[in-house]
Amino acid sequence: MNKLDLLKLARQNLWRRKLRTILTVLGVLIGTTSIVVMLSLGIGLRESQRKSMESWGSLTMIRVQQGMAFDNEGNPLGEAKRLNDEAVAEIKAIEGVIAVSPAYDVGGEARLGRKRGGLQLIGIDPEVMDQLEFKAEQGRLLKKGDRNVIVVGSQVIYQFHDESERRKMERGMMMYEDPRSRQQKDPAEMLDQRLSMIMQNGPEKKKNYNFMVVGILEGERNEHSYQAYAPIDDIKKMRDFTRGGSTQRGIGGSGREAVLLARSGKTVAAKKGSSSRDTANDYSFILVRTGKVEQTREVSKTIKDKGYNCWSMADSLEGIEKTSRTVQAVLGGIGAITLLVAALGITNTMIMSIYERTKEIGIMKVIGATFTDIHTLFLAEAGMIGFIGGLFGLGLSYGVSKIINHLFQNYLNRGMPAEEMMSISLIPSWLALFALLFSVVIGLVAGLYPAHRAVRLSPIRAIRNE
């Protein structure tokens, strides 16, 4: 028989018993909806947590710190892995790394016009700032050749207060102030303004370093929001000043008097002539950028294997993904049970159809229908039930998902900006396609036994059957 004729015949056979077919399709519909909605909740949970982490920091950035190995008693083993130019070159050579910048950091009192406050100032390589996922919301980023300029995070302006605010803070009044009632400040007010950083070297030695604010960084709650960034050479000068302006050394080796070092809670004197290492130029940390999240984990592991300490947001993401996969497996299993019940319904429907159409099957065999034709006919009917149930179940899944997200956003995301509202149920295109194909496969599998039973019917006995 022609395959198209078989499909038309299968459709007519299903439509002959409308109520039974509709009820069977309804079982597949409910099963498909259950498994899709359950999996969408797991996917939505993972994506919402991922977006929440991305709002605090990039998933492709790694912060490298000086590394040191210790024994069981807490004593250092060998020398610490220093953060110098050799370390920068070593990290740049790692596969997957697309940008590296050494960094110095200093902190202290700063002035912005008549306002004063504390400021954390970080010096990085201006040439690679745009490659380290910094984005300027207003103004510009640092660029090669810049001197005495800075870019600041969007929340830095809240770190500066005039005298009245400072008095409130000293009395503790601002500590109990509702953040929602806090006067909003526009970060753009800092743009093109002079900011003075007051550094101290000893009880009486102070020096002002003036910077021009040339850019405001994008993001209100990420890791850059409360920090300011300047060319690394400027920050190194400030750090050298706070350290006395002289080269900082290890144990002896400079011909000077003995240096006192703290080691394991004890103070020991360093003698002249002992080995030393110049650590004055060692960086505070190193920023590393990778191409994608998967590479971040691999690069982070490689850096740790080389003896450095490092941290990235992607490290935390791995635990979240494991949790979300477990949740998806549990929820998907619950939905799969419902679909399994629907598959039993399809099997029952097709077996009942065989009993009702025994004579019809016998006649088909007598007039020339092959075993393959009979087998294909019953599989086509079972597949149609699965396809129709899956298609309508998928449509219902989108509706249920929309309702869940609406309730979630109204009650849990209330008060958040529209662009920051998260969805707890997400149905990606691959899940929709998987659900539709899975429902068809379930229908076909459920129809295998009835089809095999129909093929084994004797034509003579089938025609004689009343």
pLDDT tens across 82-97, in order?
888 899 999 999 998 9
**Which residue reads 């406050």 in tokens?**
117
Return the higher-pLDDT residue of 69 and 229: 229
DSSP states of 238-303: HHHHHTTSS--BSSS-SSSSPPEEEETTEEEEPPTT----B-TT--SEEEEEESSHHHHHHHHHHH
pLDDT tens across 179-193, in order?
444 567 888 889 999
Enumerate the domain spans of the chain. 3-57+319-464, 61-248+277-311
Contact between 129 and 142 under an 8 Å Cβ cutoff? The reply is yes
Question: Please, what is the average pLDDT of the chain?
Answer: 78
Contact between 242 and 200 under an 8 Å Cβ cutoff? The reply is yes
Q: Is the pTM of this model over 0.85?
A: no
Confidence band of 15 (pLDDT split at 50, 70, 90):
confident
Q: Which tokens sit at 260?
A: 């006192």
pLDDT tens across 119-163, in order?
989 999 999 998 888 888 899 999 988 999 999 998 898 888 887
Rounded mean pLDDT, 92-115: 90
Cα–chain center distance at 207: 43
pLDDT tens across 22-63, in order?
888 898 898 888 888 888 888 887 777 777 666 555 778 888
Using DSSP's 3-state secondary structure scheme, residue 117 falls into strand
Using DSSP's 3-state secondary structure scheme, residue 67 falls into strand
